Structure 1
Amino acid sequence: MKMRDTFIKPMHPEGRKFVAIFAAITAVLFLLSSILGWIGVGLTVWCYYFFRDPVRATPNREGLIVSPADGVVSLIEKAVPPAELGMSDEALTRVSVFMSVFNCHVNRAPIGGTLKAIAYRPGKFFNASLDKASADNERNSLCIEMEDGRQIAVVQIAGLVARRIVCFSSTNDRLLTGERFGLIRFGSRLDVYLPDGVQPLVTLGQTMISGETVLADLTSNEPARAARTH
């Protein structure tokens, strides 16, 4: 990897118009004050960085469930998948990954399969790190069915400052593990509902890398993972 690749990342097309708007405002700010102009430059660079879309190395082994988002594991608990997906009404293990405004916000499929359902539901904009965000906030839910018939739900949840959930995929699309399927603008959260009996291999507070960090393993009998902080 070249040194420049550490700092310069590809930008998702969704961000081009926002960077252009920030740049235009920055040009106006320079006419008013050089100090304001340089603040605008900083915000424009941040906007570009927010919409970065780096290449990720997704593990190929069958049965691995990877993180759909960059961020930190904020919740691991039992919960019923969103009713609008028409899945089982039994509580499943839900792993929530909270994305701050500094994380990459491109979302990736946690596992390969057929996209059986997509359901958008408007809602509120509580802080996405709160438990009630799963029930009350604006969300876009997806149901991915694997070849063996088991299903995984992944839910895009808008946050305190997020006001736009974007989904690039459509019902009946075939997704590969780690394939991009959407993004959320400016701070949010992704929930993954694991199949019954599957334990998470991540812990609260763990830093996740979208498309790379293994969240769970369908073939493993390992109990829910514990960790220590230091």
Structure 2
Amino acid sequence: MFHKEGTPSIIIAIIVSAILVGVAFSVPMPIWLHFLLVGLAIFVIIIILQFFRNPKRNTILDDATIVSPVDGKVVVIEKVTENEYFKDERIMISVFMSPINVHVTRYPIGGKVAFSKYHPGKYLVAWHPKASEENERTTVVVEHKNTVQIMYRQIAGALAKRIVNYAVENEEVVQGSDSGFIKFGSRVDVYLPLDANIKVELNQKVRGGESILANF
């Protein structure tokens, strides 16, 4: 299963690969170049398909848990001051996605979208300390039925030049469902209440929609 955001790229990859194979079989050339072109065509298709894959995840709906919105590795767990929406201290968990990770973003909790905003910005490397405030990003806040609000922020990196965000204010959303997509490597920051019970550790690998970041 592939994400709908990948449709144009997949079509282009198929066309490019078909051209390479066509040239390989129609133009006289050394045998090594023939195999090189065919191999390149296969490589292009594999890379694009694996990047835009959208595997089904078994999210266990739970009113007391916050699941990871993306696949990747936990690179930051720290207390920070969140200045855009809450304007107070929060626990921030950052998950870094490499180009080989699934890049679908999923809602960490269910509830109503209280805030959703896109910010144009820079393309610093995703792990840069200022990336969460200066890079291209989207900020989404979901309010749980128990009134707890959880924020997550999609952040573009040096390679990620397009962030897709489906969250619409006042819309009811389901935990673990598709909330967007980030093309190429980047990161997502999740902002939790200070009393949240953190369930992950630094450098731990997590799966979007399944791995529990915290209880509340």
Q: Same fold (TM over 0.5)?
A: yes
1:165-189 CA-partner distances (Å, limit 9, x unpaired): 0012311111111111001001111
**What residue number does 1:167 align with?**
165
**What residue number does 1:19 align with?**
10
1:91-115 CA-partner distances (Å, limit 9, x unpaired): 2000000000000001110111100
Q: CA RMSD in A?
A: 1.4
Separation (CA, whole Å) in 2 of partners of 1:43 and 1:127: 25
Matches within 5 A, 1:207-218: 207-218=205-216
1:80-132 CA-partner distances (Å, limit 9, x unpaired): 3351xxx3211200000000000000111011110011111111111112322
Worse-matched range after superposition: 109-118 or 194-203: 194-203
Read off the aligned partner of 1:151 and give its amino acid letter: Q
* Deviation, structure 1 residue 201: 1.0
Separation (CA, whole Å) in 2 of partners of 1:142 and 1:81: 13
TM-score when scaled to structure 2?
0.90
Separation (CA, whole Å) in 1 of partners of 2:60 and 2:83: 28
**What residue number does 2:65 align with?**
64
Matched, 1:121 2:119: yes
Matches within 5 A, 1:1-230: 10-30=1-21, 31=23, 33-34=33-34, 35-83=36-84, 87-218=85-216
Query: Given that residues 126 and 160 in structure 1 are in contact (C-alpha distance below 8 angstroms), is that contact kept between their aligned partners in structure 2?
Result: yes
Moved beyond 4 Å, runs of 4+: none
* Deviation, structure 1 residue 217: 0.5
TM-score when scaled to structure 1?
0.85
Q: Which runs of 5+ in 1 are unaligned?
A: 1-9, 219-230
The DSSP-based 3-state class of the residue aligned with 2:9 is helix
Worse-matched range after superposition: 186-195 or 168-177: 168-177
Separation (CA, whole Å) in 2 of partners of 1:168 and 1:38: 37
The DSSP-based 3-state class of the residue aligned with 2:181 is strand
* Deviation, structure 1 residue 56: 0.6
Worse-matched range after superposition: 34-43 or 121-130: 34-43
Query: Given that residues 81 and 153 in structure 1 are in contact (C-alpha distance below 8 angstroms), is that contact kept between their aligned partners in structure 2?
Result: no
Query: Given that residues 138 and 153 in structure 2 are in contact (C-alpha distance below 8 angstroms), is that contact kept between their aligned partners in structure 1?
Result: yes
Aligned residues: 206
Query: Given that residues 11 and 52 in structure 1 are in contact (C-alpha distance below 8 angstroms), is that contact kept between their aligned partners in structure 2?
Result: yes
1:124-149 CA-partner distances (Å, limit 9, x unpaired): 11111232211221100001111122
* Deviation, structure 1 residue 62: 1.9
* Deviation, structure 1 residue 60: 2.3
Separation (CA, whole Å) in 2 of partners of 1:148 and 1:60: 15
Separation (CA, whole Å) in 2 of partners of 1:214 and 1:186: 24
Determine what percentage of the aligned residue pairs are the same residue. 38
The DSSP-based 3-state class of the residue aligned with 1:80 is strand
Q: Which runs of 5+ in 2 are unaligned?
A: 25-32
